Amino acid sequence: LPAPFGPAWRRYTPFLAEILAERRRLRRALRQAIPMQELALVYQPKVDLETARLVGAEALLRWHSAELGPMRPDIFIPLAEETGDIHAIGDWVLDAALRQLAQWQAEARLEDDFALAINVSSRQLMQAGFVAALLQRLEEHGVPAWRIKVEVTESGLIQDIRDAQERLAALRASGVGVSIDDFGTGYSSLSYLKSLPVSELKIDRSFVKDIAHNEEDRKLVETIIVIAHLFGCSVVAEGIEHEAERQILRGFGCEHGQGYLFARPLPPAEFAGWLTAPPAN
Ligand code: C2E
Ligand code: CA
Ligand code: CA
Ligand code: CA
């Protein structure tokens, strides 16, 4: 028999069946995650690279499955995008993030320029009525639009660039910040700058991690920063782990950064330590 149907194929079929069964298990567990209250948000501080002052945070999703244990978002988010569960999960994230933001606001813990970045899947962004629903949520929670930034990855936006453009423009017009996540890892990063109304670029960790040792990465990052500024965007570098990286990025004029050098993503109680003290009364 030719290769795909030969003995090797028969040998691997059980593994394939196992993989499929595993996926079904994962899907089933994921569908239970919200009703079982297994989702949580952690918050990674975002700092000014010049002064180390806190300028915001990124909300990152965590899933601790009773059945499967802790699951990584890079595994379950793509699956949720495939199955459509991302809509319910994305709604949950928005609600949880805004509720937390409203609480910090009520406790008077936020600096005037503090903004919370929320990851929004392109499937969620392109859902009918997304912008109106988000604006209504903001109002319900009493959170001003400028207090949040929506982080979208370039990869999902190409399918209907016109529609994406309109939605992001509507967000910007209402005061919500728009950040392009993982900038540079997609196919057409530069053309997005031209066509999308973006306020911030996030340089992916893959460009940042070797910046202290690799001349090419340094050139790439410097170029991204120059271009971002020419297009009126501010720049955040993600995944900063070492002081040398911070210094290089700062030297290139990168405004903000996130990474283990400053803090890991933190549960709300720990993150509160990064916020200004509530007023004494
Ligand atoms: P991302 O948006 O690019 O988030 C950055 C990832 O880098 C996070 O991984 C963060 O924990 C990690 N990170 C931050 N600083 C460092 C560092 O100094 N070193 C290293 N090695 N890693 C660092 P995480 O939390 O596992 O999230 C992975 C991805 O899952 C995110 O990548 C994002 O694409 C997705 N994701 C997370 N939360 C959400 C969410 O609420 N909604 C959606 N749609 N996607 C989410
Ligand atoms: Ca992000
Ligand atoms: Ca990112
Ligand atoms: Ca990334």
pLDDT for 237: 98
pLDDT value at position 149?
98
Distance (Å, rounded) from C-alpha 42 to C-alpha 61?
6
pLDDT in tens, 163-174: 999 999 999 999
pLDDT of residue 17: 83
Span 111-138, pLDDT tens digits: 999 999 999 999 999 999 999 999 999 9
Interface confidence (ipTM) of the complex: 0.98
Q: What's the whole-number mean pLDDT along residues 189-212? A: 90
Mean local confidence (pLDDT), 178-183? 93
- 118 alpha carbon – ligand 3 mean position (Å): 11
Tokens of 100: 């937390």
| Residue 85 CA, ligand 1 centroid: distance in Å | 19
Report residues whose beta carbon is within 6 angstroms of any ligand 1 atom.
44, 60-61, 72-74, 77, 93, 119, 121, 181-182, 205, 238-241, 258-260, 265
Does 109 score more than 90 pLDDT?
A: no
Distance 90 CA to ligand 4 centre (A): 18
What is the per-residue pLDDT across 215-243, written as a single tens digit (0 to 9) for each? 999 999 999 999 999 999 999 999 999 99
User: Ligand 1 centroid to 4 CA: how many Å?
Assistant: 38
CB-based contacts of 79, cutoff 8 Å, min separation 6: 23, 26, 27, 30, 85
Identify the residue whose C-alpha is closest to ligand 1 atom 13: 239
CB 165 within 8 A of CB 193: no
- The pLDDT value given to residue 196: 86
Q: What is the mean pLDDT of the chain?
A: 92
Q: Of 167-171, 193-197, 207-211, which range is least confident?
A: 193-197
Mind listing the pLDDT tens digit for each residue in 12-29? Answer: 667 788 888 888 999 999
pLDDT band at 157 (very low <50, low <70, confident <90, very high): confident
Q: Which ligand is nearest to the CA of 97?
A: 1
Q: What is the CA(60)–ligand 1 centre distance, in A?
A: 6
CA 186-188-189 angle, 5° bins = 70
**Residue identifier of the C-alpha nearest atom 20 of ligand 1:** 239
Amino acid 9: pLDDT: 57
Q: Whose CA is nearest to atom 45 of ligand 1?
A: 119
Query: What residue's CA is closest to ligand 1, atom 25?
Result: 60
Asked whether the predicted pLDDT for residue 208 surpasses 80, the reply is yes
Protein residue with its CA nearest to atom 17 in ligand 1: 239
Average pLDDT over residues 179-195: 82
pLDDT at 186 over 80: no
User: What is the C-alpha to C-alpha distance for residues 192 and 201, in angstroms, rounded to an integer?
Assistant: 11
Q: What pLDDT sits at residue 15? A: 78
Q: Which atom of ligand 1 is nearest to the CA of 261?
A: 18
